[in-house]
Amino acid sequence: MPQHSSPNGPSDTPSTDSVTRIVLRPIASPLPVGFFALGMGSTVLSSLQLGWVPLEQSGVLLLLVLIFVVPLQAIGGIFSFLARDAGSGTALLLLGAAWAGTSVTSLDSPPGKPMAAQAVFLLALVPFVLALAGAAAQSKPLFAVLLGLTAVRFALTGLYEAGLGNAFQVAAGWTGLGIGVFALYGGLALLVEDGKQRTVLPLFRRGKARESIEGDLREQLAEAQQEAGVRHQL
């Protein structure tokens, strides 16, 4: 006779492990495109803040940011979520939306004129970017530095938009060039790592991020049942 479930005896009810399969689809790392897009956007806007491009051509640069930078960061953010990296996905999508918002509003305003509304937006954005940088520091210090510099740039630009002087805009422009350099190195290092399947240029990974490259696949999948999309509640 078949056995029935009993709190005190054997049961023929199959275990969760025997009836559940979690299927993961390999994808290419989206971080290089996110890094390069961030670096390009930052460098382009720095050229405007530092006066290397005439103000009457600012609309062209802002359109290029909307057409080139924002979609690439959105793609990088979406695929970061698909790769189960909520931190990177949140950061790239947040920054992409910030680029889009500031570019659109700047297109509708007189070139070179500070805007209090943008100051409020940029200064309000700073603590959220710093929170992302703090979270990334636990495993991806290079990404944390990049986000930290971005937060500094938002703060400096916000102070300029608040009407506190052109010196803040110049400082923001040079900070933006630093972001471009960091993003170029980070994107290149990630591309080389993805091609070689090992770290070549230092990325200073720690914790789970380091295990993702050096650890065993079984170790990485051990906690998959606790991740969003698998567990019942977010």
Q: Which phi and psi angles does 204 have, rounded to 5°?
A: 55, 35
Q: What is the pLDDT, as a whole number, of residue 108?
A: 82
Where does the pLDDT of residue 109 fall: very low under 50, low under 70, confident under 90, or very high at 90 and above? confident
Helix axes 31-49, 70-82, angle to 10 degrees: 150
**Alpha carbon distance 7, 58 (integer Å):** 73
* pLDDT single digits (tens) 151-203: 999 999 999 999 999 999 999 999 999 999 999 999 998 888 877 777 677 77
* pLDDT single digits (tens) 2-33: 444 445 545 555 555 555 665 666 777 888 99
Q: Are 151 and 129 in contact (CB under 8 A)?
A: yes
**Alpha carbon distance 43, 182 (integer Å):** 11
Q: Is the pTM of this model over 0.85?
A: no
Q: What tokens does 88 get?
A: 């990177």
**Residue 198, amino acid:** R
Tell whether the model's pLDDT for residue 135 goes beyond 80: yes
DSSP 51: T
- CB-based contacts of 128: which residues, under 8 Å, 6+ apart? 94
Tell whether the model's pLDDT for residue 115 goes beyond 50: yes
**Residue 7, amino acid:** P
Q: What is the pLDDT, as a whole number, of residue 16?
A: 56
Residue 46: CA atoms inside 13 Å, Cβ hemisphere, count? 19
Average pLDDT, the chain: 82
Q: In the predicted model, what is the mean pLDDT of residues 110-130?
A: 92
Domain spans of the chain, in order of start:
31-204
Where does the pLDDT of residue 117 fall: very low under 50, low under 70, confident under 90, or very high at 90 and above? very high
